[in-house]
């Protein structure tokens, strides 16, 4: 039946053409392999090369590095369409490379690092990951303990990371390490080649959802990497990480929009065909109205995500608040839609031969990754309180 997407004032003809390109790539290169990759726990390495050749791994990066020089709106469109692949894990694998691992390098790394690691990753010849989370440091990034001690021209790195997407087969990791004393100012980022002696992949983690995205525990035992692999300035790692969360949160919000589209589309097709009590399910007003609520929720979330994408593209400081709101809304909206569509399918919605239960599991993590919903609420509330405290009218009223 198809999803009746509304035209958007945020999108240009180029964005619409790009959507068609990505949708075709998903239909041709991902969806036919979704079941296979979900069962294997990873997508094929060849997919990265195909995505690179299609220009999907370097949208916002310079053409000199093989990128396309586009904006965050293109990132939102890409994430929406990848999410409709029936394998959100595959979408996560590609975006963990193109957005999470590379964005900081694009803005902060030396030209030598960009040429050595970014250009091949944009082409899909190398797989990248970002290594921040640790067993004792998830949302609290400033609490990481993996240490990098300077020894001559090298950093000697020891510690552990966990929940690292692409971690079991990455060729390099944009790695958060502690180069100074405990606290926010002691964190730095280095590019870590995974063929470094002393590095070991521990368990491949068995997750509830996004199962085609390999996720691992990583161990570092006195691993030496050149000081030249430092990204930006020493001690500025936390600032770099926090300033690039916007892209990750936009990706998750856009994933949610794409999944809602896909689920509503699958639900409409099923409700039009499935007969109950002598009538299609769409013949019942209660389900027609529930579809109306789901579509409205999807479009409201899309508007929040596009607003955030536009502000991020313009480097507007308001982008951080907008993307926090978009991610918060998206995580809750997509979980609600997934539950509704599973309910609609009844017993069939429990069967693994359908993508419905897979999407239901996949979206559970959207309220956790790139900052939990609790963190989003805290960021939004701080912004509101800050606005109140700096408004002269409110100060006058308080007197």
Active centre residues (catalytic): 248
Gap between the Cα atoms of 162 and 185, Å rounded: 22
Q: CA neighbours within 13 Å on the CB side: how many for 73?
A: 20
- Residue positions counted in the chain: 399
- Compute the distance between CA of residue 181 and CA of residue 188 in angstroms, rounded to an integer: 11
In order of 41, 290, 298, 330, the CA distances from 4 in angstroms are 33, 15, 11, 19
Phi then psi dihedrals of residue 125, to 5 deg: -85, -25
Q: What dihedral do alpha carbons 100, 301, 22, 313 form, nearest 10°?
A: -60
For the beta carbon of residue 123, count every other beta carbon within 10 angstroms.
18
Residue 223 to residue 220: CA distance in whole angstroms? 6
Query: Rounded to an integer, what distance in angstroms lies between the CA atom of residue 198 and that of residue 187?
Result: 21
State the number of CA atoms in the 13 A half-sphere of 24 facing the CB: 7
List of residues 6+ apart from 215 with CB closer than 8 A: 163, 164, 165, 167, 168, 204, 205, 207
Q: Which residues does 317 contact at the CB level (< 8 Å), separation at least 6?
A: none
Burial 323-351, CB ≥16 within 10 A → b, else e: bbbbbbbbbbbbbebbebbbebbeeebee
155-174: b or e for each residue (b if 16 or more CB lie within 10 Å)? Answer: bbbbbbbbbbbbbbebbbbb
Alpha-carbon distances of 178 from 128, 129, 146, 156, rounded to whole Å: 21, 18, 6, 11
């Amino acid at each position: 039946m198809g999803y009746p997407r509304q035209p958007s004032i945020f999108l240009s003809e180029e964005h619409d053409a790009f959507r068609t390109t990505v949708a075709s790539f998903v239909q041709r290169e991902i969806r036919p392999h979704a079941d296979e990759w979900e069962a294997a726990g990873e997508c094929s390495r060849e997919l990265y090369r195909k995505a690179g050749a299609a220009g999907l791994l370097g949208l916002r990066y310079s053409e000199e590095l093989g990128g396309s020089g586009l904006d965050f709106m293109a990132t939102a469109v890409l994430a929406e369409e990848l999410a409709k692949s029936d394998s959100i894990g595959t979408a996560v694998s590609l975006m963990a490379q193109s957005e999470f691992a590379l964005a900081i390098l694009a803005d902060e790394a030396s030209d030598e690092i960009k040429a050595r690691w970014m250009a091949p990753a944009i082409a899909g010849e190398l797989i990248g990951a970002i290594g921040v989370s640790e067993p004792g440091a998830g949302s609290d990034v400033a609490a990481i303990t993996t240490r990098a001690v300077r020894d001559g021209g090298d950093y000697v790195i020891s510690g552990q990371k966990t929940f690292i997407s692409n971690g079991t087969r990455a060729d390099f990791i944009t790695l958060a390490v502690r180069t100074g004393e405990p606290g926010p100012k002691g964190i730095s980022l280095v590019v870590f080649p995974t063929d470094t002696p002393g590095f070991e992949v521990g368990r491949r983690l068995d997750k509830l959802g996004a199962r085609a995205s390999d996720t691992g525990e990583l161990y570092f035992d006195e691993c030496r990497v050149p000081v030249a692999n430092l990204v930006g300035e020493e001690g500025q790692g936390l600032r770099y990480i926090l300033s690039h969360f916007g892209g990750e949160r936009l990706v998750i919000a856009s994933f949610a929009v794409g999944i809602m589209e896909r689920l509503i589309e699958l639900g409409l097709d099923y409700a039009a065909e499935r007969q109950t009590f002598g009538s299609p399910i769409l013949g019942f007003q209660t389900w027609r109205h529930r579809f109306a609520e789901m579509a409205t929720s999807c479009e409201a979330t899309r508007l929040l995500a596009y607003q955030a994408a536009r502000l991020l593209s313009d480097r507007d400081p308001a982008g951080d608040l907008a993307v926090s709101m978009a991610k918060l809304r998206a995580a809750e909206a997509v979980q609600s839609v997934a539950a509704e569509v599973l309910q609609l399918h009844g017993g069939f919605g429990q069967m693994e031969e359908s993508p419905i239960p897979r999407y239901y599991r996949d979206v559970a993590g959207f309220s956790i990754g790139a900052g939990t919903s609790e963190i989003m609420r805290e960021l939004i509330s701080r912004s509101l309180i800050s606005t109140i405290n700096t408004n002269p009218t409110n100060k006058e009223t308080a007197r």
